[in-house]
Homo-oligomer: A and B are copies of this chain.
Amino acid sequence: MTGIREIAIEAGVSPATVSRVIRNPELVSKERRQRVQAVIDRTGYTPNSLGVSLRKAKTNRLVAIIPDAISAFNYPVIRAMESIALENGYSLLLGDTQEMETRERSFAAMVSSRQADGILLFCPRLPFDVEPSIPLANQLPPMVNACELVPVNGLPQVNIDNRAAARDGVEYLLSLGHTRIGVIAGNLKSPSTKDRLAGYKDALRQAGLAIDEQCIDVGDYGLEKSEQATRRLMKQPQPPTAIFAFSDEMAMACIATLCKSGYRVPDDISVLGFDNISYANYCNPSLTTIAQPMSDIGRVCMELLLPQLRGEPMVAQNIVLDHTLIIRESTGPVKT
């Protein structure tokens, strides 16, 4: 493994000059620059980034801490982040925590142990112990929180208004004449689920309808659990005429389950999803859903992170992006 010293000797210059040719070529005379460059090209030399990072105390790496696997929902978010990261000289490490707090913390510790410069946090809790008496901004590394928000002040956060989004979705179902609307919720501990649930109840209350807890079931953002939830919802004496699943994936599983049981969607029962993942337009029937602006979320996160990486202080702010109701084939008027 050839190092900068070998290149320097080979080219008959000092290591410093080689370093300059790589980092600041304009500081080196043309003659020497070409000589050094020739050796670099010939040997295929690449600087050992460990040395660079150690010296510069900077890794140019970010870590995304993701609770629940890389899903059809968060992949576009991550992809947008990664592309902006790349443009700015950063690479993005994906840390899948599989919902384990130890893993959240272990990925976050990459910053303390100088394996990464900043954090994109998709989990609803801080992966650090903080001193409540000190402002958050002074204790945390460069960091942005997205989608599942930490209930704390001081962090830059990016999200949609899940409550309003769910309300909009339910109001749409109400406008189709549905009054008995089932819910397949996500993980009840997740802030996004809580907000969507609140929005669901808002809309029903506003319409003067009672909230029947029997109509609320949990799918935990999983396919099988959504299937089970669907079966339970339909087994009620008075089954819902519409089901609102808190993710498109759960909506797909819900529809599949309904069809297996002989229901027709949307003729017999309507299904509303959430997220607008790429499959939403390619399942059968295609999904009516509440779209999240996935790439915008990713982009905005990076826009909040980059200044911090440049050394600017963390600024408490909560960016709320717009959602959109996308009407496709899985919803229709209530069956009369």
Contacts and interface: CB of A to CB of B under 8 A. Distances in A.
A227 interface: yes
Contact of A227 (B1, B109, B113, B282): B282
A108 B141 CA distance: 28
A256 B283 contact: yes
Interface in A53-96: 53-54, 59, 69-70, 72, 75, 79, 82, 91, 93-96
A312 to B, nearest CB: 18
Interface residues of A, number: 48
Contact of A82 (B82, B96, B249, B278): B96
Given A59-B50, A109-B46, A114-B48, A252 B282 contact: yes
Number of copies of this protein chain within its complex:
2
Given A282-B227, A283-B256, A284-B255, A79 B69 contact: yes
B223 A282 contact: yes
Interface string A206-249: 00000000000000000100110000000000000000000001
Contact of A283 (B79, B96, B252): B252
A51 B226 CA distance: 47
Nearest to A112: B46
A109 B320 CA distance: 38
24 contacts: A1-B114, A46-B109, A46-B112, A48-B54, A48-B114, A50-B53, A51-B54, A54-B54, A70-B70, A82-B96, A91-B93, A93-B93, A94-B94, A223-B279, A223-B281, A223-B282, A226-B282, A227-B282, A252-B279, A252-B282, A256-B281, A257-B282, A259-B285, A260-B286
